[in-house]
């Protein structure tokens, strides 16, 4: 294991890749790949662009604390193949600034699953959910908080100070969703399914929901938004004019809808105003992943094909290009934080080689690892944190904070990572 750790440290080195940054406050910058430049201002409506941020003051008088949650197995157990089908004794733990501060047992007898999608680190606590034969059990740091009838998977989990826990559950069998507060039903539906996580817009709990088309009952595909338990239809899947809804979210009490027209052109609608996504000269839209946001702005993530035929991932801030990523990297997720940006992905010609991007620079990570789809990274209060999932038994889990690689000498994996700010000692 010591030799392997040494090799991993050697592998965690900067990538020598060209970085193409497309500025959003000026005409589109064009290097040799773009052939020409053009100004986008003439095709944008007057007024501020959707998602335009106002930069907050930096943290003052406080220090960051880093929390990492994970699962540790016996040293000789092959948890990748899991021959004992999840019944082997293992431990869930929480670290603060590299030191383990909490651990508890995992397994059937504890009503705690080791699965990464059934545990989350929120602040300095670990919250888990577990389905018995007929109930869902929610725990905090291994201690039961509440349980309720029905077997649900979590599509959203929010801890609200002073008011309790909001969960968005979907049945393990069938359709629909249920929004709960401390286990009690707030609202529910037996149709459709969530298309976004549960999130807070200010004090309002919000999530997106889709009702699929059903020709038998004459039901059209419909997208709805649920605000504090109250559903409202916001768009159809494909309108009479050929408009196709891609994604939507609420930010600062404004509803944003990302859609394609019948010609395949992309638009971002905010408060009823449509703006087309700008493209570099000669480029075409290849695909759209959807919308995301930080505390200040709304972003679009997708992929373009350049005039030279290269595929490049792009992040738009509102409808204006924020970042065009290197052609050698397939970006899987973006994490904007005001004027800073983190991202995770892989080399396009080697999907076993993970890469991360931070503030204009790329860095390679050791092969044999992957990113957890939901909790692989977090731009937490100005600090970019990410975790890597081992793809083979016998290699240690890795986490990275602001470019510094940390390797844990355990047999297991990490679940989530985050940062809290506390008042610095006087």
pLDDT for 64-98, tens place per residue? 889 999 999 999 999 999 898 878 889 999 999 99
Residues in the chain: 426
58 falls within a domain: no
User: How is residue 104 written in tokens?
Assistant: 């508890």
Range of weakest confidence among 31-45, 107-121, 214-228, 366-380: 31-45
181 falls within a domain: no
143 falls within a domain: yes
Residue 411, domain extent:
2-27+64-147+204-423
Q: Give the pTM.
A: 0.82
Nearest to 345 by CA among 306, 371, 381, 308: 371
Q: Reduced to 3 states, what is the DSSP secondary structure of residue 197?
A: coil
Give the count of domains, the chain.
1
Q: Which helix (H) or strand (E) holds 261?
A: none
Range of weakest confidence among 62-76, 193-207, 256-270, 364-378: 364-378
177 falls within a domain: no
47 falls within a domain: no
Residue 22 main-chain phi, psi, to 5 deg: -100, 115
Q: Which helix (H) or strand (E) holds 278?
A: none
397 falls within a domain: yes
277 falls within a domain: yes
CB atoms within 10 A of CB 56: 9
- Close Cβ partners of 341 (under 8 Å, ≥ 6 residues apart): 315, 322, 323, 334, 335, 357, 358, 359
**Distance (Å, whole) CA 158 – CA 237:** 28
Residue 4 main-chain phi, psi, to 5 deg: -65, -40
CATH number at residue 277: 2.120.10
User: How is residue 417 written in tokens?
Assistant: 């990572």
CA 162, distance to chain mean position in Å, is 26
Which stretches of 290-350 are DSSP H helices? Answer: none
261 falls within a domain: yes
CA 321, distance to chain mean position in Å, is 20
Range of weakest confidence among 97-101, 110-114, 158-162, 379-383: 379-383
Contact (Cβ atoms closer than 8 angstroms) between residue 37 and residue 372: no
The mean of the pLDDT values for the chain is 83
User: How is residue 24 written in tokens?
Assistant: 């959003």
Which residues of 228-308 form beta strands (DSSP E)? 230-236, 244-251, 254-260, 266-270, 273-276, 284-293, 298-305
SS3 content of the chain, % helix, strand, coil (to 5): 5, 55, 40
pLDDT, tens digit, 9 for 90 and up, residues 255-281: 999 999 999 999 999 988 999 999 999
């Amino acid at each position: 294991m010591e030799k392997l750790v040494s090799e991993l440290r050697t592998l965690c080195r900067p990538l020598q890749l060209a970085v193409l940054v497309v500025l959003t406050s000026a005409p589109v910058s064009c290097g040799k790949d773009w052939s020409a430049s053009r100004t986008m201002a003439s095709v944008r409506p007057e007024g501020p662009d959707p998602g335009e941020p106002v930069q907050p003051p930096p943290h003052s008088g406080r220090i960051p604390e880093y929390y990492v949650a994970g699962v540790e197995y016996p040293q000789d157990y092959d948890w990748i193949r899991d021959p004992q089908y999840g019944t082997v004794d293992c431990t869930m733990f929480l670290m603060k600034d590299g030191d383990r501060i909490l651990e508890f047992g995992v397994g059937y007898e504890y009503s705690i699953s080791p699965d990464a999608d059934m545990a989350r680190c929120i602040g300095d606590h670990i919250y888990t959910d577990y389905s018995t034969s007929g109930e869902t059990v929610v725990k905090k740091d291994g201690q039961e908080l509440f349980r309720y009838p029905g077997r649900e998977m979590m599509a959203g989990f929010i801890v609200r100070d002073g008011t309790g826990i909001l969960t968005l559950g979907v049945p393990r069998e069938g359709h629909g969703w249920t929004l709960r507060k401390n286990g009690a039903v707030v609202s529910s539906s037996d149709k459709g399914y969530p298309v976004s996580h549960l999130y807070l817009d200010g004090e309002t709990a919000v999530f997106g929901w889709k009702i699929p088309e059903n020709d038998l009952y004459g039901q059209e595909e419909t997208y709805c938004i649920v605000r504090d338990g109250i559903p409202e239809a916001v768009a159809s899947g494909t309108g009479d004019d050929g408009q196709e809804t891609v994604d939507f979210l609420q930010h600062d009490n404004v509803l944003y809808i990302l859609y394609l027209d019948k010609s395949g052109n992309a638009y971002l609608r905010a408060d009823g105003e449509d703006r087309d996504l700008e493209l570099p000269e000669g480029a075409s839209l290849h695909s759209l992943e959807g919308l995301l946001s930080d505390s200040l702005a709304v972003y679009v993530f997708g992929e373009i094909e350049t005039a030279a035929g290269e595929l490049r991932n792009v992040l738009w801030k509102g409808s204006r290009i924020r970042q065009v990523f290197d052609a050698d990297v397939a970006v899987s997720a973006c994490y904007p934080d005001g004027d800073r940006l983190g991202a995770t992905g892989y080399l396009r010609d080697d999907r076993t080689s993970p890469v991360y991007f931070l503030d204009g620079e790329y860095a390679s990570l050791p092969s044999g690892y992957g990113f957890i789809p939901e909790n692989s990274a977090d731009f937490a209060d100005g600090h970019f944190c990410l975790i890597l999932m081992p793809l083979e038994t016998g290699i240690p889990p890795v986490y990275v904070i602001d470019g510094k690689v940390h390797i844990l000498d355990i047999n297991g994996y990490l679940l989530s990572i985050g940062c809290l700010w506390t008042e610095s000692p006087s």
